[in-house]
Amino acid sequence: MTYKLLDGKDLSKRMKQAMKLEVQSLAEAGIVPGLAVVIVGNDPASRIYVNNKKKDCEEVGIRSFEYALPEETSEVQLLGLIDALNQDPAIDGILVQLPIPKHLDEAKVIRRISHEKDVDAFHPYNTGELMIGRPVFAPCTPAGVMELIKDAGIDVTGKNCVVVGRSNIVGKPMSMLMLHANATVTVCHSKTKDLKSACRQADILIVAIGKADFITADYVKEGAVVIDVGMNRRDDGKLTGDVDFESVSKKASAITPVPGGVGPMTRAILLKNTIKACNMHKKNMLS
């Protein structure tokens, strides 16, 4: 079977071109969207993500503000910084790069970010709005997946969608977005009995478990759409997803590569959410 490659690099590039024009028109009105990125400690993967986000902001004309804090930063210090950023009119979006050091309470940190500046869409307010089908900000990775599917002309209505993984960042919000798009959704996880059989029912299979090349061809129905959210490093240093691309691509009708599939889309949605936050704040100022 010949598969369609769901190219996140290409789509994110097109999205960024459109966003650049939107930011230019805001700039003509004297408004520049601002994104604050907070990184605590020196996790190498986090540093790469933060650098990429800064590059993306530069590309579309969003001002980015980086706050790199040492590993030993106290919770009081981090929450104090978030409070200051919540009050800062130059900042439209706040992102605390996860994971944060173990001595900091992740849930408390996420709750402290104003839900109006929560461009990652992790705050309970925003996850609640997503649940009832009125998301203010779409969670970046799941929304990026939806954009890829839509751009490829894949209709999810009535399709069996299997999401492997139930994290708050990908699995749960992904299942909600698919449900709102009228798919029939099954969420699988580490306690699922006969995972292989469940996956083989999927017209659309979305995998986010963090296990390199875990999903092989025998998990996949002929002609399925396969979305690989995983990003793992093999022993030889090469990046790979949760799906064994080599074997699965022979059965899939459409599939994302790793890297270059979902990753660039996650970052594109972050920019989109920051611009949306800026427009919301501007409207609040004018009203």
Tell me: the pLDDT tens digits for 183-222? 999 999 999 999 999 999 999 999 999 999 999 999 999 9
Helix, strand or coil, per DSSP, at residue 1: coil
| pLDDT tops 60 at residue 48 | yes
Active-site entry in 7, 92, 118, 120 = 120
If you average pLDDT over residues 238-266, what whole number do you get? 97
**Structurally, how many domains does the chain consist of?**
2
If you average pLDDT over residues 15-36, what whole number do you get? 97
Residues 147 and 197 in one domain: yes
Query: Which amino acid, 114?
Result: S
What is the pLDDT at residue 285? Answer: 67
Catalytic residue status for 53: yes
Average pLDDT, the chain: 96
CATH number of the domain to which 94 belongs: 3.40.50.10860
Residues 145 and 202 in one domain: yes
Residues 185 and 100 in one domain: no
Both tokens assigned to 32: 């520049």
Residue 10 resides in a domain: no
Active-site entry in 7, 16, 56, 97 = 97
CATH number of the domain to which 205 belongs: 3.40.50.720
| pLDDT tops 70 at residue 80 | yes
What is the pLDDT at residue 235? Answer: 86
Residue 17 resides in a domain: no
What is the pLDDT at residue 234? Answer: 87
| pLDDT tops 70 at residue 159 | yes
Rounded to the nearest angstrom, the gap between the alpha carbon of residue 203 and the centroid of all alpha carbons in its chain is 22
| pLDDT tops 60 at residue 287 | no
Residue 272 resides in a domain: no
CB atoms within 10 A of CB 158: 9
Residue 257 belongs to what domain range? 140-262
Catalytic residue status for 120: yes
Tell me: the pLDDT tens digits for 12-21? 999 999 999 9
Residues 245 and 164 in one domain: yes
Nearest to 226 by CA among 163, 269, 142, 284: 163
| pLDDT tops 60 at residue 79 | yes
Residues paired with residue 38 on neighbouring β-strands, in sequence order? 67, 96
Catalytic residue status for 24: no
Residue 286: pLDDT band with limits 50, 70, 90 = low
Query: Which amino acid, 134?
Result: R
Question: To 10 degrees, the CA torsion angle through 270, 275, 23, 145?
Answer: 40
Instruction: Output the CA angle 177-14-38, nearest 5 degrees.
Output: 65
What is the pLDDT at residue 140? Answer: 97
What is the pLDDT at residue 183? Answer: 98
Residues 108 and 157 in one domain: no
Tell me: the pLDDT tens digits for 90-147? 999 999 999 999 999 999 999 999 999 999 999 999 999 999 999 999 999 999 999 9
Active-site entry in 53, 159, 172, 251 = 53
Looking at per-residue confidence, does 287 or 156 come out higher? 156
